[in-house]
Structure 1
Amino acid sequence: MKTVYISQQGCYLCLEKELILVKKNKDIINQIQLPLVEQILIFGKSQLTTQLIRSCLWRDIPILYLSRMGYCYGRIIAIERGYRQLSRYQQQLEFYDQLIVARNIVSAKIKNSKTILQRQQRRKENLELQQTIDSLNYLCQQAEKADSIEKLFGYEGASAASYFSAFGQCFNNPSFIFYSRSRRPPGNQVNALLSFGYQVLWNHLFALIELQGLDPYYGCLHQSSDRHAALTSDLIEEFRAGIVDSLILYLVNKNIINAEEDFVFRNGGCYLNDNGRRKYLQAFVTRMEEMITNEQGYKEPRWDLLMQQVKKIKQFFYSPANTYEPYLLR
């Protein structure tokens, strides 16, 4: 079964017997067998025929409508899919099972951050990068032994501060200077890119969690509340470095993003302007559409990495004995 991602703008999806035809400007750009489809995600402005929607409902195939930033406008689901069956499993999770998953998530985040720095270190040796890599190794070991969520947050916070103190060493574009992470508001261009990139990724994960029938507001690491989608905040941790940080390094070092033209300063902070957001989103979608080899050895778009992890956490909630394994950069 596969997930269909429609991120090109202006597409038209229709049904011909058991075949979904994806058209653009009257040209057929893709064909997908309907019985093999698990779900359909529409990013931005594309259309589906009523016949296709009806067939998806009949086959229990949900359809999700999102903005290009990943904000979920809504979904079309069959009636029997409209009830939260998994929420009680999430709420009844034992503390020890919750702690194990939280440890795995934090250690994966630290390892992925370390991998980003190691890649840069292999290109050009740097003493500060090596010292940070050693620090992250130590903090990861401590996180794997933590006996409380509070201690985990301490190690996670220390690792993030250490990682971002060295992250600026990875830029070779003199127009972008970065010393530390600042969020509200972002203090400079790199922080603006990080904040925007994390928000886009967060939106996408939230939508996928909803699509799998999970409750985004019950997680393992972050505190659950009616105003905080804790599970989304949990799952984003393992993807920050590999998807957002690495993309920002590419955009800056390849001079795709311009430090003067693509940002605006207002209310004491720095933000991407319309042109900068457009550049980032185009690069993000292009990267997420790239075909990679998944764990089963099949070629899938990078989008599928997110869905694989959502499905893994779903299986964990059903069967906590099989603990959750986060995504690790290779």
Structure 2
Amino acid sequence: MKKLQNSLYVTRQESYLHKERETIVIKQGKDKLAQFPAHAVANIFCFGQISVSPFLMGYCGEQGIGLVFFTEYGKFLARIQGRQSGNVLLRREQYRVSDKDTPRLDIARSIVLAKIANSRRVLQREVRNKGAHPSLDEAIARLANCLRRCERPDNLDILRGLEGEAAAIYFGVFNQLLKQDGFDFKGRVRRPPTDPVNALLSFLYTLVAQEISSALQGVGLDPYVGYLHVDRPGRVGLALDILEEFRAWWCDRLVLTLINRKEVKASDFDIEASGAVRLKEDARRKVLVAYQEKKQEEISHPFLNEKVQVGLLPHCQALLLARHLRGDLQHYPPFSTR
């Protein structure tokens, strides 16, 4: 199994990153803030006014190190990509499957089933820990019904409709999982997020999506050509497909932990004139620390039946999808907890 490498999160404004021999150096003015061995770094995430030397950019491209730029508040801006790795025959098969209704629907259905099942387990976990709750029990039952209806959808449009219905049910009771005053969630709002909970969800979804993009590229797949999401210019459709498997189990549960343990408070957010809600810099650092700690945790992969670190799950799913496309696996096994 691939070794989990470190991710660098650079949030100090006006920092400058460059390569010095076989290390990555972070400076601010004349002050050296940090220095890391380059071989131990898998991704570099830059937030705000961060500069990177051309030589380090080129090195990242050659070595397959993800270099991603965000606004200071976590909105994705750009991703530096080097040469595409892997066999071109794998990507050709990826494109062929995306143009065929039946195999594309099979992969998309597996992903949606995993997403709904994982969402349902988040609610079941709450009931198991805190006791029965009428609205949660009803939502769990309705999600079970969605799962049954997703078994044999006639086409992608129907499947997407069921996925949207399940998401509405799940987020319709999500506020009941929050245990800290000042966090009121009325529904999913994306661009821009207009409350602290949506701000946290969007921030973590963006981070995991970029990890998945790097993992897909690492095994030779094109992160822009997916099966569930409609193709759009600039959209990493396949990365967003795989993200669906991780939203509830990884991102949503981490948001609940941060809020319910009061590691993040309502005062950790700014409200812009546009109504957008953003994490303050200190709070963003706390979230990044918690996210990195989560990536270090070990779980038993439900399909591979071996211990893997959470941070390697995108790589595992990218490998399994590649094996399916090559014909080594009859069906794509999505990440679905037991």
TM range (shorter): 0.7 to 0.9
- Specify the alignment match of 1:26 in structure 2: none
- Specify the alignment match of 1:209 in structure 2: 216
- Specify the alignment match of 1:143 in structure 2: 150
- Specify the alignment match of 1:106 in structure 2: 112
Cα deviation for residue 278 of structure 1 reads: 1.4
Cα deviation for residue 318 of structure 1 reads: 1.6
- Match of 1:2, SS? coil
Cα deviation for residue 290 of structure 1 reads: 1.7
Task: Answer yes or no: is the 8 Å Cα contact 2:215–2:315 preserved in 1.
Answer: yes
- Specify the alignment match of 2:101 in structure 1: 95
Residues of 1 paired with 2:236 and 2:328: CA distance?
A: 21
Cα deviation for residue 185 of structure 1 reads: 2.1
Alignment of 1:71-82 (within 5 A): 73-74=79-80, 81=85
Counterpart residue identity of residue 176, structure 1: F
- Specify the alignment match of 1:274 in structure 2: 281
Q: Which segment is superposed worse, 290-299 or 112-121?
A: 290-299
Residues of 1 paired with 2:77 and 2:314: CA distance?
A: 15
Residues of 2 paired with 1:71 and 1:305: CA distance?
A: 24
Count of residue correspondences: 305
Cα deviation for residue 75 of structure 1 reads: 5.6
- Specify the alignment match of 2:298 in structure 1: 291
- Specify the alignment match of 2:3 in structure 1: 3
* TM-score, length-scaled by structure 1: 0.80
Q: Does residue 305 of structure 1 match 2:313?
A: yes
Cα deviation for residue 224 of structure 1 reads: 2.1
- Per-residue CA deviations over 1:292-314 (Å, capped at 9, x if unaligned) read 33455544321111111011111
Residues of 2 paired with 1:137 and 1:192: CA distance?
A: 28
- Match of 1:228, SS? coil
Cα deviation for residue 263 of structure 1 reads: 3.5
- Match of 2:186, SS? coil
Residues of 1 paired with 2:285 and 2:139: CA distance?
A: 33
- Specify the alignment match of 1:314 in structure 2: 322
- Specify the alignment match of 1:18 in structure 2: none
- Match of 1:213, SS? coil
- Per-residue CA deviations over 1:119-151 (Å, capped at 9, x if unaligned) read 001112211100000010001111112111000
Change (3 A) 1:321 1:7: closer
Query: How many percent of aligned residue pairs carry the same amino acid?
Result: 30
Change (3 A) 1:223 1:123: same
Task: Answer yes or no: is the 8 Å Cα contact 2:324–2:332 preserved in 1.
Answer: yes
- Structure 1 residue aligned with 2:163, among 141, 150, 156? 156
* TM-score, length-scaled by structure 2: 0.78
The gaps in structure 2 that reach 5 residues or longer are 11-18, 24-35, 47-54
- Per-residue CA deviations over 1:159-207 (Å, capped at 9, x if unaligned) read 0011001111111112211121111221211111111111111111111
Cα deviation for residue 209 of structure 1 reads: 1.1
Counterpart residue identity of residue 152, structure 1: L
- Match of 2:5, SS? strand
- Specify the alignment match of 2:15 in structure 1: none
- Specify the alignment match of 1:184 in structure 2: 191
Residues of 1 paired with 2:94 and 2:145: CA distance?
A: 31
- Structure 2 residue aligned with 1:259, among 244, 263, 266? 266
Residues of 2 paired with 1:89 and 1:44: CA distance?
A: 31
Task: Answer yes or no: is the 8 Å Cα contact 2:86–2:219 preserved in 1.
Answer: no
Q: Does residue 226 of structure 1 match 2:230?
A: no
Task: Answer yes or no: is the 8 Å Cα contact 1:99–1:149 preserved in 2.
Answer: yes
Runs ≥4 residues deviating over 6 A: 12-15, 67-72
Task: Answer yes or no: is the 8 Å Cα contact 1:194–1:248 preserved in 2.
Answer: yes
Change (3 A) 1:84 1:263: farther
- Specify the alignment match of 1:122 in structure 2: 128
Counterpart residue identity of residue 301, structure 1: Q
Cα deviation for residue 72 of structure 1 reads: 7.4
Cα deviation for residue 4 of structure 1 reads: 3.9
CA RMSD between the two structures:
3.5
Cα deviation for residue 64 of structure 1 reads: 4.0
Residues of 1 paired with 2:272 and 2:87: CA distance?
A: 44
- Match of 1:271, SS? strand
Change (3 A) 1:14 1:194: same
- Match of 1:260, SS? helix
